[in-house]
Amino acid sequence: MAQEHTEIRSAAFVRGVIGTTPILYDGVPQVAFVGRSNVGKSSVINMLTGRKNLVKVGKTPGKTTELNFFSINDGACYFVDLPGYGYARVDPKRKEKIKKMILWYLLYAEVTPRLVALIVDAKAGVTAFDTEMLRVLREQGHPHLVVANKIDKLNQKERAAALKAIRAAAGESPVVPCSATSGEGRAALLAAIAV
Ligand code: GDP
């Protein structure tokens, strides 16, 4: 049976944010997306919103250090695209800046996101920084889930093994298998986001 969810009718970029800015505290619910560079975070946001180019796919890793705000359904909520982290070739200072920005949003900005979607690559699994993210999300009491993206790349056997490992690493946090390419997981994510 198809899961019930609200459809996204409109999505528009609002602004990039660094530090304390009024948009963070305007009362509009925030759904944040976080993940390593190249896990398909931009592609997942595009898939959810049904917009091919809302977020540019294949951006140079580490280039964005801002929080990018998108207005969903004419201000019903914001999607907040956090900078991608952990790409090996990004210089250490920039890496540190990105990490600080993410942790600032989750720990110190005093926002209470409605949901944080931690996106991982289903094949690569949960990395050390993903585990740190999960710990922070739990400690802060932020509602969250793990999105196991690029699941389309795995055959049935690999898929079962990958999901088992990700579920073990995620503990009590829900895990949603997802493919930005095939659209798998879209209904489940939209239901969790409850736009
Ligand atoms: P980001 O850096 O996390 O925002 O990742 P992007 O959305 O830019 O995607 C990185 C690369 O992975 C691109 O080449 C995408 O086309 C590809 N990609 C993203 N999601 C999927 C997916 O679900 N399946 C497959 N096969 N490729 C994907």
User: Rounded to two decimals, what is the model's pTM?
Assistant: 0.95
**Per-residue confidence (pLDDT) for residue 1, from 0 to 100:** 46
Q: Which amino acid is at 156?
A: Q
CA of 121 to the centre of ligand 1 (A): 9
Summarize pLDDT for 78-137 with one digit per residue, the tens. 999 999 988 777 888 888 999 999 999 999 999 999 999 999 999 999 999 899 999 999
Tokens of 117: 């979607």
CB of 84 within 6 A of ligand 1: the answer is yes
Summarize pLDDT for 30-72 with one digit per residue, the tens. 999 999 999 999 999 999 999 999 999 988 887 888 999 999 9
- The number of angstroms, rounded, from the C-alpha of 189 to the middle of its chain's C-alpha atoms is 11
Helices (H), ranges, 51-175: 92-103, 128-140, 156-170
Other beta carbons within 10 Å of 167: 16
Tokens of 39: 């896990």
**Per-residue confidence (pLDDT) for residue 145, from 0 to 100:** 98
CA of 43 to the centre of ligand 1 (A): 6
Residue in 33, 38, 43, 53 to alter for ligand 1 test, most ligand atoms within 8 A of Cβ: 43
**What's the pLDDT band for 5 if we cut at 50, 70, 90?**
low
- The number of angstroms, rounded, from the C-alpha of 180 to the middle of its chain's C-alpha atoms is 12
Q: Which domains does the chain have, with CATH numbers?
A: 3-193 (3.40.50.300)
